[in-house]
Copies of this chain bind each other. A is one copy, B any other.
Amino acid sequence: MVTLEDVAKQAGVSLATASRVLNGSTRQVGATLRARVEQAAVELGYRANIAAQTLARGASNVIGIVVHDLTDPYFAALADGAMRAAATQGLLVMVGTTHRDPEQEIAYVATLSAQRVRAVLLVGSRVADPRVTGRLREELAKYCAGGGRAACVGQDLLAVDTVAPANREGAAKLARALAGLGHRRFAVLAGPPHLVTAADRCAGFAGALEELGLPAPQIVPGPFDRDGGHEAARRVAPDVTCVFAVNDVMAVGALAAYREAGVRVPEDVSVAGFDDIVTLRDHVPALTTVRLPLKDMGARALELALGEADGPVVEQVDGEVVLRESVRRLG
């Protein structure tokens, strides 16, 4: 590999001058030398060693994003939003996937921190386990103490800037909308109880029903993915008229289960989800859901991480109820 020294030698200038010409510096270099250096660099095919630059500058131009699962369109959208925002700032992105293992998440923060990345974004639900959360928070604190910046999309549990989707209130709004359509007997495909996002949505939904004086919904726990929804749907009580799956992917699983069972949606049962995943917009029947501006949230998280924070900023993001065919008016 050709180094800066090679270029300097070839151009007949010092290392300092070559550096100033090739890798942005505040200092000016005379036109003649500048030209000589640039030509030498091109001739030799010079490419700066970024590891060396990072070391010398004490700062890198990469950010880290940690998500649970890239093949889940929810995370893909969030990550994409953040990556686009990063690209506009000339930042590179390292992506880590935890496959929903909190230990992995901690490990990634450690590794990214060792990489001296400029910022790390933690995308996805926290878990209810305070010990795991505590360790993650410690790891983040250490990273931030060393000059790192961090932000999180999810719950405000890590003492860093946070983009917090209004899971409770979104689910509550959905509950009120569904109740407004005449539904009385609900089930919630609740996901895993320890996932805060799932728990919040479930609680928000149930809470709103209670406020309305309606009977408590049947709570069906299960995995947070398509198969979880599929499986959970089969355990829903027969008198339920409306099922709320705590995310769209689960809702799609539930719809598939109903289809297989010959249960018509929305004629026999109504189904709603949460997130408004774009990839699913052509699903039949179209899914009633709570829309979250995922791409914007990802981008916003990056902004927060990069911005000057006095203390941790927490930004609430509202969800908007979108009524579609998978739900029908009752009676």
Contacts and interface: CB of A to CB of B under 8 A. Distances in A.
B60 A71 contact: no
B114 A49 contact: yes
B279 A279 contact: yes
Task: State the copy count for this chain.
Answer: 2
Interface string A33-50: 000000000000101111
A259 B278 contact: no
Contacts of A322: none
A118 interface: no
A50 B115 contact: yes
A17 interface: no
Which 5 pairs across A and B sit closest by C-beta, in order of nearness?
A51-B54, A284-B284, A1-B146, A256-B282, A95-B95
Chain A contact residues: helix, strand, loop or mixed: helix
A84 B259 CA distance: 33
Interface string A63-80: 000000111010011011
B279 A255 contact: no
A149 interface: no
A14 interface: no
Contacts of A284: 259, 283-284
Given A114-B48, A226-B282, A282-B256, A96 B94 contact: no
Contact of A96 (B49, B60, B92): B92
Interface string A142-178: 1000110000000000000000000000000000000
Given A77-B71, A96-B93, A49 B116 contact: yes
A282 B273 CA distance: 15
Nearest to A111: B92
Contacts of A209: none
A313 interface: no
A62 interface: yes
Interface in A230-263: 252-253, 255-256, 259
